[in-house]
A and B are shown apart, each in its own frame.
Chain A
Amino acid sequence: MQYKSQAVAKPYFIAAIGLFVGQILFGLIMGLQYVVGDFLFPAIPFNVARMVHTNLLIVWLLFGFMGAAYYLVPEETETELWSPKLALALFWIFLVAGALTIVGYLSLPYAKLAELTGNDLLATMGREFLEQPLITKIGIVIVALAFLFNITMTTLKGRKTSIVLVLLLGLWGLAVMFLFSFYNPHNLVLDKFYWWWVVHLWVEGVWELILGALLAFVLIKVTGVDREVIEKWLYVIITLTLITGIIGTGHHYFWIGTPEYWQWWGSIFSALEPIPFFAMTIFAFNMVNRRRRDHPNRAATLWALGTGVMAFLGAGVWGFLHTLAPVNYYTHGTQITAAHGHMSFYGAYAMVVLCIISYAMPVLRGRAANSNKAQVMEMWSFWLMTVSMVFITLFLTAAGVLQVWLQRYSQTPMPFMEAQDQISLFYWLREGAGVIFLIGLVVYIGSFFVKGESKAQTT
């Protein structure tokens, strides 16, 4: 570890992995509820499990991004963090606030939670992914601003590399777009229109800048390729991201009451959205092929390549599958959407966070790379999780195609629940793949505890 203050990244990474486990457990509960409808009812109704599943995902990724920033920024800017104490204080505030929110979801009826947390002052709750109580939302803003202040101050006093600038742009964008979560007009169409300014402009906009910056950082470290080359690629990728992704928001404006010209804008621009992901895959492989050194951390290299491929498949290919308006007319709001959501979040964001953890954690623990034994175990977990996610996606896609056929496309459309009964086989298969994913995650965590000879110490 080059800078002492980088150490604050460690608790962030540990918390991220812990919350990741929680996310997967609730995913398995929901997966089972799809086929055994009354499982854990009324203790944990589906909507509560889903809220916990998706909110934990967002929060663990945010922990991952923040940890990544605390690790990356000092090294890139070649200076200690402006305030490691602030970073540590924010860690505890965010963790406690997040935990209390989850406890609130699980222990109180949602309407009661809303009443207790000031939703009557400003109603922001009960919208997909933005279910957090008002006080939690305000907490997120405060933590985000203090975090951004800390890393921006660090950057201002140090070297300003392109990677840091792109990372900062992405993180500031994340915080700014989140402010739209406080805008909840009575008019449902307006509500939905601006809701996407948080959700879409996060995951198909500013988050991709964070993804690109983290990937570029790890690639410089593990390949030793010239920074000029990598940063040029980074700019090309994020240019492609934003020129396709911003207008690509239009693919959410097909059927929610918005003007029909969005069917053209949305279809055309989002059909181009796979391009930046493809570029990212090419980028990762190209840099590894042109490597100037063989970094002892092969696991991190595997994650870097994996995130390129899986982001392209999940976000690029599975996104394209249902993004053209005439197709989306039939697939909108079916299991096809769920299939795309699972693989894209895993491929783009879960994997890039696991990539930076894989690279940084050994260094934070005082070695360049883990022992061979630990790395082999980590790579096993990579394959278990990644392959099972491919199967989760394939089974959900099969379920979705059948659902569309039975309920939407047919001359004699079936009611929703009847169609669901017809496709339950695929929900069982998905649950099975989910169990393998959990096993992969357990193996992943196990890899942190494998001893054996560690590679050369870093200074």
Chain B
Amino acid sequence: MSGTFTKSMARNIFYGGSMFFVLLFLALTFDTMKVLPQRDNRANLTQAVINGKKIWETRNCIGCHTLLGEGAYFAPELGNVYTRRGPDFIKAWIMGQPTGTPGRRQMPQFNLTPQELDDLVAFLKYSSEINSAKWPPNIEG
């Protein structure tokens, strides 16, 4: 980078280039927002699902588990747990924690009410029905 390529040219390319890609990103975002209703399962966004999402958040589930592959990698993927285990297993599992098996990873007891358990399951069912482009590769998540 000698002679003819000056700092002010570099600066102008920076501002111009960045601005172009910001606008492109916004355009793609705009298109995504238009397409999402067909993919994000918003038709099934019931009050139970909304409550369930809040329970998911306020128990910091993402601190151990992944949801659609995002989160922590300490415990199983839960985006498809509804299809993998079904509602009754999920509820019984949550109620049965911690297992207390020596040396095994432990999940806290959250003392959820039957209503809260139903809401959480509703949220996990809703999550499992989002069109995630065939991810995960298999039922084990």
> CB within 8 Å of B: which residues of A?
30, 33-34, 36-38, 41-42, 45-48, 50-51, 110-111, 114-115, 119, 123, 125-128, 131, 162, 184, 186-190, 192-193, 228-229, 231-233, 235-236, 238-239, 242-243, 246-247, 249-250, 252-260, 262-263, 265, 329-330, 332-335, 337-338, 407-409, 413-417, 419-420
A to B CB contacts below 8 Å, 20 in the list: A36-B103, A47-B60, A47-B63, A47-B72, A51-B63, A111-B110, A114-B57, A131-B60, A239-B10, A243-B17, A247-B21, A247-B28, A262-B28, A333-B69, A408-B136, A416-B76, A416-B77, A417-B76, A417-B105, A420-B105
> CB within 8 Å of A: which residues of B?
1, 5-7, 10-11, 13-14, 17-18, 20-22, 24-25, 28, 31-32, 35-36, 39-42, 45, 49-50, 53-54, 56-64, 66-77, 98, 100-108, 110, 126-127, 130-133, 135-141
The CA-CA distance from A257 to B68 in the complex, in Å, is: 9
The CA-CA distance from A238 to B127 in the complex, in Å, is: 37
Given the known interface contacts A242-B18, A256-B68, A333-B77, the answer about A247 and B25 at a Cβ–Cβ threshold of 8 Å is yes
Q: How far does the Cβ of B136 sit from chain A's closest Cβ, in whole Å? A: 7
Q: Which residues of A contact B104 (CB under 8 A)?
A: 37-38
A420 and chain B: residue at smallest CB distance? B105
Q: Total contacts A to B, CB within 8 angstroms? A: 225
Q: How far does the Cβ of B99 sit from chain A's closest Cβ, in whole Å? A: 9
Q: How far does the Cβ of A89 sit from chain B's closest Cβ, in whole Å? A: 32
The CA-CA distance from A249 to B62 in the complex, in Å, is: 21
Q: How far does the Cβ of A443 sit from chain B's closest Cβ, in whole Å? A: 30
Q: Which residues of A contact B133 (CB under 8 A)?
A: 254-255, 260, 263
Given the known interface contacts A235-B13, A254-B133, A258-B36, the answer about A413 and B139 at a Cβ–Cβ threshold of 8 Å is yes
> Are B135 and A127 touching (Cβ within 8 A)?
no
> Are A41 and B53 touching (Cβ within 8 A)?
no
> Are A187 and B40 touching (Cβ within 8 A)?
yes
Given the known interface contacts A38-B104, A192-B70, A232-B6, the answer about A238 and B25 at a Cβ–Cβ threshold of 8 Å is no
> Are A333 and B70 touching (Cβ within 8 A)?
yes
Q: How far does the Cβ of B106 sit from chain A's closest Cβ, in whole Å? A: 4
Q: Which residues of B contact A338 (CB under 8 A)?
A: 73
The CA-CA distance from A11 to B111 in the complex, in Å, is: 43
Q: What is the interface of chain A mostly: helix, strand, loop, or mixed? A: helix
The CA-CA distance from A338 to B49 in the complex, in Å, is: 30
The CA-CA distance from A304 to B32 in the complex, in Å, is: 40
A125 and chain B: residue at smallest CB distance? B57
The CA-CA distance from A36 to B66 in the complex, in Å, is: 20
Q: How far does the Cβ of B9 sit from chain A's closest Cβ, in whole Å? A: 8
Given the known interface contacts A189-B36, A232-B1, the answer about A46 and B135 at a Cβ–Cβ threshold of 8 Å is no
> Are A188 and B40 touching (Cβ within 8 A)?
yes
> Are A41 and B98 touching (Cβ within 8 A)?
yes
Q: Which residues of A contact B54 (CB under 8 A)?
A: 123
- Our pick among B40, B64, B75, B106 for the contact of A189 (Cβ within 8 Å) is B40
Given the known interface contacts A232-B6, A417-B105, the answer about A249 and B66 at a Cβ–Cβ threshold of 8 Å is no
The CA-CA distance from A356 to B49 in the complex, in Å, is: 47
Given the known interface contacts A255-B135, A257-B130, the answer about A42 and B25 at a Cβ–Cβ threshold of 8 Å is no
Q: Which residues of A contact B1 (CB under 8 A)?
A: 229, 232-233, 236
> Are B39 and A259 touching (Cβ within 8 A)?
yes
The CA-CA distance from A30 to B74 in the complex, in Å, is: 9
A260 and chain B: residue at smallest CB distance? B133
The CA-CA distance from A36 to B76 in the complex, in Å, is: 17
Q: Which residues of A contact B7 (CB under 8 A)?
A: 162, 228, 231-232, 235
> Are B77 and A38 touching (Cβ within 8 A)?
no
The CA-CA distance from A394 to B32 in the complex, in Å, is: 36
> Are A246 and B57 touching (Cβ within 8 A)?
no
Q: Which residues of A contact B56 (CB under 8 A)?
A: 126
Given the known interface contacts A258-B36, A414-B140, the answer about A125 and B58 at a Cβ–Cβ threshold of 8 Å is yes
The CA-CA distance from A415 to B127 in the complex, in Å, is: 20
> Are B64 and A190 touching (Cβ within 8 A)?
no
Q: How far does the Cβ of A113 sit from chain B's closest Cβ, in whole Å? A: 9
- Our pick among A37, A126, A127, A252 for the contact of B103 (Cβ within 8 Å) is A37
The CA-CA distance from A241 to B90 in the complex, in Å, is: 44
- Our pick among B49, B108, B135 for the contact of A186 (Cβ within 8 Å) is B49
Given the known interface contacts A111-B110, A188-B40, A247-B24, the answer about A413 and B59 at a Cβ–Cβ threshold of 8 Å is no
The CA-CA distance from A3 to B68 in the complex, in Å, is: 51
